[in-house]
Structure 1
C-alpha cells in the first residue's frame, strides 16, 4: 500500500475527509515541480480566504490543462502525491506524512498498477523529477511521520529527521543520498 492507498484508506475510515491527488496540479509528465505551487494557488489560498477552490486539473489523456472547475472540499483535506510536503505547501500542512517503501517493493507496486503501461514510458523522467524535488525541498526530513507498510501488511511509523534524508527512486534498486 502506497500514498494513494493510504489516503483512500483514511477516507474509507472517515467519509468526510476530502482526498485530492497532487497529480491534479502537475503540468504533465514533465511538470511535477509545478504541482506544489499550483496546489497553493488553486487550493490552499482560496481555502484560506474561505472560498471554494477553483482547480484547473491536468488532463492526462489530452496532455493539457483542463477547464477550471469548482472543487468543494470538507473540513479535512488529505493532499497525497509526490511533492505534497514540498516547501510551497508546508505552511498549510497540519501533518506531513512520508510514505516510504523499499525500492524493490516500490518497483513491484508500480508494475502491478492498472496504469503501469501508461506510466512506464515516463518512469525514468518522473523518477528523476521526484528525486530533484525531494533533494531541493527536503521532503522526507520535513515530514512529521514516516509510514512504511511491510510485505506482510503491517505498518510501522517513525519520525523523520534531517539526518535521515533519503530519496528512494526505486530505479535500479538504488537508495541515493539526497
Structure 2
C-alpha cells in the first residue's frame, strides 16, 4: 500500500504546498511525475505548473518525456536520456542541453526549427518532468519530490485512445510491455513519495 495515497484534488493542494517551500529554499528544485500511460501525468503537471505560476509568479520548466523517447520502443532509452542530458547537469548546477525527438521523422531534431529541436535550461526555477520512466533508481536520487499517478487499466486505456483519437491504439500493447519491464526493474512506484489516485 502506498505511504501517501491522495485524491487528485488533495494531491494538487499538498504538492503545491510542498513546492512553495522548495522554491524558496532551493535554486532549482526537481519534481518527477511518473505513472503508466493514460494515468493523468500531463494534466497533473500542467495544473501544478499553473498553480505555481499563480502563487509564485514563476513559470516552472515543464519537460515531457514524450519529447525524449526515441520512438515507441524507447521508454528505457528516454529515461536514460533524461538522466544523462537533463537531470545530472541540473543537479550539479550546470546548464542542461537536450534535443527533442521528431516522431514523424523518427529521429532527434526538428528541421522546422532554427535550433533543430535543441532545448536549453540554465536553472534557477522549478523543473517538472512528467512521463513514463521519469522516476528510476538513478533519477530518484536527483529529485526533490517524486509523484506516482495511479489509475485502473480500463480508464487509462480509454484516456490513451481519446487523447489522439485512436491514432496510436496499436501501440498500447508494445508500450505496456515496456512499462511492465521498466517498473519491475526500477520499482518506480515504490520510490515515489506521493501517490495520486486518478
Match in the other structure for 1:30? 73
- C-alpha change, 1:75 and 1:117, in structure 2 (3 Å) is same
1:20/1:78 contact within 8 Å kept: yes
Note if 1:14 corresponds to 2:52: yes
Maintained 8 Å contact 1:17/1:74:
no
CA–CA distance in structure 2, aligned partners of residues 23 and 86 of structure 1 = 16
Could you give the per-residue CA deviations for residues 77-100 of structure 1, whole angstroms, max 9, x where no partner exists?
111100111122111111110000
Residues 10, 17 of structure 1: 8 Å contact kept: no
In structure 2, distance between residues paired with 1:107 and 1:42? 31
Give TM-score, length-normalised by structure 1. Answer: 0.76
Tell me if structure 2 keeps the 8 A contact 1:23–1:81. yes
The match for 2:153 is 103
Tell me, which stretches of 5 or more residues in structure 2 are unaligned? 1-38, 54-58, 110-115
Kindly indicate whether the alpha-carbon contact (under 8 Å) linking 2:100 and 2:119 is maintained by their aligned counterparts in 1: no
- 2:197 is paired with a residue whose SS is strand
**Relative contact order higher in (CA < 8 Å, ≥ 6 apart):** 2
Change (3 A) 1:19 1:4: same
SS at match of 1:14: helix
In the comparison of the two structures, how many residue pairs are matched?
A: 148
Q: Does the residue aligned with 1:29 lie in a helix, a strand or coil? A: coil
The corresponding residue for 1:163 is none
> Aligned ranges for residues 77-156 of structure 1 at < 5 Å?
77-113=127-163, 115-149=164-198
* 1:64-83 correspondence to structure 2 within 5 Å: 64-66=107-109, 67=116, 69-72=118-121, 75-83=125-133
> Which ranges of structure 1 fall in alignment gaps of 5 or more residues?
150-178
Q: RMSD across aligned C-alpha pairs, in angstroms? A: 1.7
Larger deviation: 75-84 or 45-54? 45-54
